[in-house]
Amino acid sequence: MQSREHVIDLPRRIYVGTGLIERIGEFVRSLGLRAPYLLVTGPTVRTMVVEAILNRTEGKVEVLETYRGDMEEVEEAESVVRSKGTMTVLGVGGGRSIDIAKYVSFRTNSDFVSVPTAPSHDGVTSPFASLKGLGRVVSVKAKEPSLIVADLRVLSQAPRRLINAGIGDTVGKLIAVRDWKLASKLRGEYYGDYTASLALMSAKHALSCATLIERDKFEGVRSLVEALISSGVAMGLAGSTRPASGSEHLFAHAVDLIYPNHALHGELVALGTIMMAYLHGINWKRLRKILSGAGIPTRARDVGIPDDIVVKALTISHTIRTERYTILGDRGLTWEAAERLATETGVIS
């Protein structure tokens, strides 16, 4: 079934380079983005990054720290925006802070500025947010960034684990695109060839980063950031998260639902990608070898996830987003099939 309306949301301007944090006030002014500002950030974002933004941004700036990435924090941020008359919301940090900022911007019709400090996710660009609420992880329409500031000096200094998570998240597009095409064939869902190709290119780019980053961390991060941005652009072009989120993401969300805060999102996506590659008939052994060679966990125990949690997550993954058809089908996997899949791929022992 074809949609009557296809809406494409893309950023107005993207800056990628070094020394950009110090120029953020200049970039904001060049696009006519107005004060008052709300800066949404996390507790682990380096003070020097936040202070550099505060010192170089003219006008009133409120700062709000996020810890959980749930609807309660969205409502808290929205209350600040409405009470202070905020015109522009800056998401500074990782996925949680950026998701809160972009969703609050959408709900209040404020401008949104994306300032990632770790290349751990592809939400940098996309007009969608993943939030915790109602006992599950929900993906919601959010505000596309008017401005993205990706300072490679800051991003390349992020912990290696966060960088690896970004690779894992982006490699997952290998599965997402195949799930999307499957849904198109079996359910008549809209499928965009160009958009799918862009997402696949991002995934292949991320795989190359897995080897490049061992030789040259800075150039590896530059390449990864470009892949993350293009993945977000693919979602904007598609008007949905379809090019970037399939059964591998459903697995990641399922684990986080039943065993929260034990692994990074991108780490779980990497595990899900290996298993779903097996189901899709992709060369999962080669994929696992590349990821493992970059230091990305390919066994659940490496990120503190018990075997039974992996199996349980596989059996409920198809229920995370019932409107999204994937290789898992409508009924999902039985416990026996899930255990066999995870064992065969080496994700569990």
At 312, the amino acid letter reads: K
Q: Quick one: which of 131, 112, 130, 121 has its CA closest to 73?
A: 131
Q: Check whether 118 is labelled as a binding-site residue.
A: yes
Q: Check whether 97 is labelled as a binding-site residue.
A: yes
Q: Check whether 169 is labelled as a binding-site residue.
A: yes
Q: Is 64 helix (H, G, I), strand (E, B) or coil?
A: strand
Residue 337 class from Cβ within 10 Å (0-12 exposed, 13-18 middle, 19+ buried)? Answer: middle
- The answer to whether residues 152 and 270 touch, using CB atoms and an 8 Å cutoff, is no
Q: Check whether 260 is labelled as a binding-site residue.
A: no
Q: Check whether 265 is labelled as a binding-site residue.
A: yes
Q: Encoding tokens for residue 187?
A: 């359910």
Alpha carbon 216 to its chain's center: 24
Beta strand pairing status for 128-133 and 136-141? antiparallel
CA–CA distance, 298 with 217 (Å, rounded to integer): 21
Q: Check whether 96 is labelled as a binding-site residue.
A: yes
Q: Check whether 117 is labelled as a binding-site residue.
A: yes
Q: Check whether 119 is labelled as a binding-site residue.
A: yes
Q: Check whether 99 is labelled as a binding-site residue.
A: yes
Contacts of residue 298, Cβ cutoff 8 Å, sequence gap at least 6 = 270, 271, 274, 288, 291, 292, 346, 347
CA–CA distance, 136 with 93 (Å, rounded to integer): 23
Query: Which residues fall in the annotated binding site?
Result: 95-99, 117-120, 122, 126, 169, 249, 253, 265
Annotated binding site for NAD(+): 95-99, 117-120, 126
Residues making up the binding site for substrate: 122, 169, 253
Residues at the binding site for Zn(2+) are 169, 249, 265
Binding site for glycerol, by residue number, is 122, 169, 249, 265
